[in-house]
Structure 1
Amino acid sequence: MAPAFLMNPVTAFTKSASVPMTRESPAAEIRPFRVSIPQAALDDLRQRVLATRWPDRETVNDDSQGVKQATLQELARYWATDYDWRKVETQLNSLPQFVTHIDGLDIHFIHVKSRHPHALPLIITHGWPGSILEMIDAIGPLTDPTAFGGKAEDAFDVVIPSIPGYGFSERPAQTGWGPERVGRAWDVLMKRLGYTHYVSQGGDHGSVISDAMARQAPAGLLGIHLSMPATLPDAVVQAINNGGPAPVGLSAKERAAFDSLYAFFSRNAAYGAMMVTRPQTVGYALSDSPVGLAGWMYEKIAQWTYSGGVPERSLTRDQILDDISLYWLTNSAVSAARFYWENNNNNFSASAQKTRDIALPVAVTVFPGEIYRAPETWTRQAYPSLMYFHEVDKGGHFAAWEEPELFARELRDAFRPLRGK
């Protein structure tokens, strides 16, 4: 049997600030939450890292076979000797955190209200291999824009939930927790917090969940913002699936997007195929070896930041390890992978995501380090209700993590027309 600290994160090693977290709590209760990782779990992590059995070194001089051994060994050395989880734990506990029971699961979330009146409620959803930690540095610019060069009337109340199976949210024990169900849960959450109207933002899984929410169009949802929009036309999807060639008549930006996606699906998408088809099998290794988990996640953080493959140019080493440690300490590698199994669609395909069914206002920001840069032509075809489209010159797939102030400015600009509605 696994040690207690590797069991369910909500019931095993987190605790409420004032209210015991029990199954007897009323279903709609919102309970204060604090992160409290046992020292035994941190000691176990360090011992496992130090005891890593390393494979042979790669036989090439680049990363074409995966993360280079020297890179991961240095990360592991720092993780085992100098890294301090308690710093990010303190940072999280300085924020208002809560848990509430929705549709059979305990959902963990951060909820920071603006000091400015008439702030617009905003729910932000992370993806994989990210977490709520992606959004932490964007909270200030979003809730208090006057401190970051913005105007008081552009303030947001911010809600940042952990997707079920991720972080400190409960892990689903049955199937069915795909984007649509999460989207419905997010609407329940926002209404439970007392909001009668709100907007939604997402990247990665968060984009897919925000799309699902917009299709559902619950009362009070005013619009969505996406940093990874589903814009691929059917002809492009078919060409990629068939191994090319590119459809004729593409513009320069469309061809660049096609080439990026072709390279992604032909050389860098195996991680997704594994989690879509065999999340449990992948999870055995990722749940037993912290360095295995680190390699699995670090590779995508390296590829998807706007960093030229060196993620420490965009994020600090501690930020990267904070995120990896969160997955390890909550034992959520396999439950997170199952979200891919539940969402067995092409997340970039407009048809697969039924974007044309969305009537609510849609805003899109294109970051240069994203998996592909969605062309405006495809974006307008995919989202007939597009109200905002902007290409920026910094940031990647983890937009809020890499460029929190730019991310906040984009959301201010994108959602400004929806205020007061």
Structure 2
Amino acid sequence: MTAATAIDRRPLLRALFDAAVAAAQPALCLPAHLPEKPTGRTFVIGAGKASAAMARVLEQHWDGPLQGLVVTRYGYAVPCERIEIVEAAHPVPDAAGLRAAERIRALVSDLRADDLVIALISGGGSSLLVAPGPGLTLADKQAVNTALLESGATISEMNCVRRHLSSLKGGRLAAACHPARLVSLLISDVPGDNPIDIASGPTVADPTTCADALAIVQRYRIALPPAVRALLESGDGETVKPHDPRLARSETRIITAPQIALEAAARIARDAGLTPYILGDSLEGEAREVGKTIAGIARQVVLHGQPFRPPCVLLSGGETTVTLKGRGRGGRNVEFLLSLAIALDGLPGVHAIAGDTDGVDGVEEIAGACAAPDTLVRAWALGLRPRASLDDNDGHGFFQALGDSIVTGPTLTNVNDFRAVLIEGPAGA
């Protein structure tokens, strides 16, 4: 096994990641999607990790009167003059998020047909806009959210359950805005860019049912609080369906998405003399299994020049999952990366980066990490056991010990996971 590498590729990998994040900034993508001013009042509401940054850009490009309230993750607030910004917890909701949701509901409770509501929605809104359904408490929502995060369910499955336990998600917030005109501006952080899965779709119709949510719960053997099970079994948690007349004046616009971020990274790769290949913007599955699969592709490229010839960069996005079985610090991007490194086993010429574009991988204030051909050798020299770290779901602990973590701070956007595998040419080109 050869672990040495002549060139440090971390700066280039970080440039790819930074380009992806920059391409998804609200300042670039939001202004072109602003609606026409109404004859009545303008209200701004929103939830998500990017919602405060979106609110600031909206203020800067809106010369008429407006008022509003958005909720974002702790540490993600930015100063606004006319839109109030509040912070709450993510990924497990807290009382601050509950209060913010109640205030947003009150803000849109008495609108007129000539009013306009602009909803700023981005990833993270599912936890930040917490409004328990009939008979449920915040503690119920916290318990279910924690269980979902540990279950290995996909983001689409998790959000299906969340929609049916809420009094605002699944189109209910849009219904509350009736009869005003509603324009939702969405930053997608989900595979497939389906609006019902972005923050669990508070302003869009939902075709799924309580029965669908129950099936997901049963599939992953998730223990439910009695009140939650009763709500789903009774059907009282049903969401707002397509063709509901209350949504007739509602319009949804996705202003940026993972594909846009990947294309921005691809341009940086070309400038560096590398051929980029986008494998997909919506890859899902267990993070460690996706790591093995991408490693297999990289090995085929190195050994056989198939299906791509090096030097090249394999780019992908989406949202993998982690079924927590160990006691480590989690993080789906670092779990992917550790699994990739183990599968590559020091294969020369292969370097990689994986990170969450919101700057937080799992619950850590760490975006992700980098890996290189010498990753395993350096780990063993420190007394680390890579497979044991993976089994303990401790990717963050592993890469932090190596000094290979990526810390960005709040990026003020969120287009989900970013992965890049750089494969050098025969001469290390």
Sort the TM-score into its range (normalised by shorter chain): under 0.3
Q: Which has the larger radius of gyration?
A: 2
The TM-score, its normalising length taken from structure 1, stands at 0.26
The TM-score, its normalising length taken from structure 2, stands at 0.26
More helix by share: 1
